[in-house]
Copies of this chain bind each other. A is one copy, B any other.
Amino acid sequence: MRWDRPPVDEATVSLPAWVRDAVDFTVPYERDEERMRLAIRLAHENVERGTGGPFGAAVFERGTGRLISVGVNSVVRLNNCTLHAEMVAYQLAQKRIASYTLAADGHPAHELFTSCEPCAMCLGATLWSGVSRVVIAASRDDAIAIGFDEGPVFAESFAYLRARGVVIVEGVLRDEGRAVLERYRALGGLVYNG
């Protein structure tokens, strides 16, 4: 059957329809916990609405707390292994500011909040994204505990980013981030990268 499908020269990265009503882009998100609550709520809603894996992320301006973009895991929904929550958030943020880097001249500093520790792919993308700070809720071990693989990430991987000026903060609302993972497992959610 696949032989019938013609070559593809375009793909779309999109958020589920519910995100538009679930996220308020008009208010600033003042503190770390408030910013993280949004990322975790996105992960939670993604599970409850059946639109993807138990992962959510958001990009903010560091100083103002202005919300630039959000992402939810979209691997299965869009048949695209690259669409982890962080990857979606980075792409939509860069499209919004019309730059391939969030560290562009004349722009304020940006940061990523993610409901779970980035995998190898997302950690690499973090370096290319131009964010200067990453804040993490659930840990790598929490993700592995429900069957996900995080890929080739090592202590040196984080050190590599830190050496290039990226601040990394772990364990902010970790229990809440982990609870979404456990909810996904309890519902029998597909572990697409086992």
Given the interface contacts A7-B25, A152-B161, does A79 sit within 8 Å of B92 by beta carbon? no
Selected interface stretch from A28-36, A97-105, A133-141, A169-177: A97-105
Can you tell how many copies of this chain the complex includes? 2
CA distance A87 to B11 in the complex (A): 11
- Which residues in A have some Cβ–Cβ distance to B below 8 Å? 2, 5-15, 19-20, 25, 67-69, 75-76, 78-82, 87, 90-101, 107, 119-125, 127-130, 149, 151-154, 156-157, 160-161, 192-193
Partner of A128 from the list B8, B81, B100 (CB cut-off 8 Å) is: B81
- In the bound complex, CA of A14 to CA of B13 (Å): 11
With a CB–CB cut-off of 8 A, which chain B residues contact A154? 152, 154, 156-157
* Cα–Cα distance between A99 and B193 once the two chains are bound (Å): 13
